[in-house]
């Protein structure tokens, strides 16, 4: 069957890659693969045809671990909400995986290769957008987010429109960049794009810009973790509307989506999800919209 041969080819490629002893880049790390006792079960309720093959497949997932508290490096370990969430849903689906820190642009560049991409998916606080849906597949939503402004105490900035004639740093190719292009204009040189959000934050810290725009969890955590630097987080519900994160997959490699969606649907409605959210985001989530989001 087609599905089997695709899996077989994939496994051969994985073995070949491992055999080459291809080392990880500096700063690249892998979380421990989740063991899956249930994957062996013959005639199990879920995916009986693929179950035994899955026991040997280790799905490769990419991330950009410079977006705390969603994903960041703690020494050589990737930690964060997304890391715990991925582990929970992979376990729920009975799948093994390896999570690697590849960086934001490389993640998309790899997934652009579709069927021949080195990764089976990515988790990186990635908002599901119509634009991205043209090039990638997404899981059902697993997290509700929105962009927020980070600036310094005493700044005159009160909302996103105030950023029009200010200097603003964003991570390139994010929804923050898109939103700010809309407000500041496409070719405005006061909109500074960085390869990672960490660099955008540093630019504000060094007074190179007046504000950073990024996802609320990241902005709020940064304010809290740097109490003496006098940062403030500003919400703008009118200009920064809700976004949903999804796990992203390359086009034409949809088997993982089919396996994960039911696990995500179950997990996002659970108390474990709420506890995980509380642990990393600091508050209880309101999941009313999320549990029905498609």
* Closer Cβ to ligand ARG, 132 or 257, answer by number: 132
Q: Which stretch binds ligand ARG (CB under 6 A): 85-93, 119-127, 223-231, 285-293?
A: 119-127
* Closer Cβ to ligand ARG, 177 or 210, answer by number: 177
Contact 112, 49 (CB under 8 A): no
Residue 175 near ligand ARG by CB under 6 A? yes
Residue 215 near ligand ARG by CB under 6 A? yes
Residues found in the chain: 294
* Closer Cβ to ligand ARG, 41 or 173, answer by number: 173
Please identify which residue in 36, 117, 124, 220 interacts with ligand ARG, judged by CB under 6 A.
124
* Closer Cβ to ligand ARG, 151 or 197, answer by number: 197
Residue 72 near ligand ARG by CB under 6 A? no
Residue 100 near ligand ARG by CB under 6 A? no
Residue 71 near ligand ARG by CB under 6 A? yes
Please identify which residue in 174, 234, 239, 253 interacts with ligand ARG, judged by CB under 6 A.
174
Please identify which residue in 34, 68, 125, 217 interacts with ligand ARG, judged by CB under 6 A.
125
* Closer Cβ to ligand ARG, 157 or 213, answer by number: 213
Residue 104 near ligand ARG by CB under 6 A? yes
* Closer Cβ to ligand ARG, 71 or 162, answer by number: 71
If binding means CB under 6 A, how many residues of this protein chain bind ligand ARG? Answer: 14
Residue 127 near ligand ARG by CB under 6 A? yes
Q: What is the 3-state secondary structure (H, E, C) of the chain?
A: CHHHHHHHHHHHHHHHHHHCCCCCCCCCCECCCCCCHHHHCCCCCCCHHHHHHHCCCEEEEEECCEECCCEEEECCEEECHHHHHHHHHHHHHCCEEEEEECCHHHHHHHHCCHHHCCCCEECCCCECCHHHHCCEEECCCCEEECEEEEEECCCCCCCHHHHCCCCEEEECCCHHHHHHHHHHCCCCCCEEEECCHHHHHHHHHCCCCCEEEEEHHHHHHHHHHCHHHCEEEECCCCCCCCEEECCEEECCCCHHHHHHHHHHHHHCCCHHHHHHHHHHHCCCCCCCCHHHCC
Residue 84 near ligand ARG by CB under 6 A? no
Q: What residues make contact with ligand ARG under the rule CB under 6 A?
A: 64, 67, 71, 104, 124-127, 145, 171, 174-175, 197, 215
């Amino acid at each position: 069957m087609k599905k089997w041969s695709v899996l077989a080819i994939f496994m051969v490629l994985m073995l070949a890659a491992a055999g080459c002893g291809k080392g990880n880049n500096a700063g690249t790390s892998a979380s421990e693969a989740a063991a899956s006792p249930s994957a062996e079960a013959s005639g199990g309720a879920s995916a009986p045809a693929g179950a035994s093959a899955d026991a040997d497949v280790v799905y490769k997932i990419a991330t950009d671990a410079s977006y705390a508290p969603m994903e960041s490096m703690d020494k050589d370990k990737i930690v964060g909400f997304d890391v715990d969430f991925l582990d929970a849903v992979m376990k729920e689906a009975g799948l093994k995986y390896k999570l690697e820190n590849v960086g934001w642009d490389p993640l998309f560049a790899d997934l652009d290769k579709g069927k021949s991409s080195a990764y089976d998916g990515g988790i990186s606080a990635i908002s599901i957008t119509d634009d991205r849906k043209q090039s990638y597949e997404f899981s059902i939503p697993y997290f509700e987010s929105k962009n927020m402004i980070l600036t310094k105490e005493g700044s005159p900035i009160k909302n996103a429109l105030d950023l029009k004639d200010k200097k603003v740093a964003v991570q390139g190719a994010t929804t923050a960049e898109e939103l700010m292009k809309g407000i500041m204009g496409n070719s405005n040189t006061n909109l500074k794009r960085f390869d990672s959000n960490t660099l955008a934050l540093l630019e504000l810290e060094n007074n190179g810009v007046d504000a950073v725009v990024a996802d609320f969890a990241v902005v709020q955590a940064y304010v809290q973790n740097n109490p003496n630097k006098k940062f403030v987080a500003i919400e703008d519900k009118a200009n920064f509307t809700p976004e949903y994160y999804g796990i992203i997959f390359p086009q034409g490699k949809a088997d993982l989506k089919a396996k994960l969606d039911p696990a995500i649907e179950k997990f996002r409605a659970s108390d474990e999800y709420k506890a995980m959210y509380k642990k990393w985001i600091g508050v209880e989530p309101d999941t009313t919209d999320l549990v029905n989001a498609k």
